[in-house]
Amino acid sequence: MLNKIVLAGRVCKDPELKFGQSGKPFLKFLMAIEGRDKTTMWINCVVFNEKTIEIYKDRLVKGSSVAVTGRLDPRSYENKMYIDLNVDMFGLEVFGDKSADPKEGSGVDFSKRKTAAKAVDLTEIPF
């Protein structure tokens, strides 16, 4: 069964670097996603890959826009269901990095795009 999801939102607080019982590091952060009806969904994100942790532990800060790819990991605690997102090794991208030089931006130059995005009528989407 395929368990893969891509989400984009904002980091709610600075990430925490923690260590498991075996001594392996993991990075936890909370991501907020605003829905169409202006409600907010809160997603607990966990990064286990040590190389990814090293790259992003200082780049992710509160307020950063972030897009992550990972797998959903449901768990229950005190008769409540929680869903964590285990972030893949290459699925973490930071947009509008606040630690970068603001003159340089995110490193993506959208002015050189050759095609313009077409407007999509959401009523035409079958799902």
pLDDT at 103: 39
**pLDDT surpasses 70 at 58:** yes
Interval 15-44: pLDDT, tens: 999 999 999 999 999 999 888 888 888 889
Interval 62-74: pLDDT, tens: 988 888 888 888 8
Domains parsed from the chain with CATH numbers: 5-100 (2.40.50.140)
3-state secondary structure the chain: CCCCEEEEEEECCCCEEEECCCCCEEEEEEEEEECCCCCEEEEEEEECCHHHHHHHCCCCCCCCEEEEEEEEEEEEECCEEEEEEEEEEEEEEEECCCCCCCCCCCCCCHHHCCCCCCCCCHHHCCC
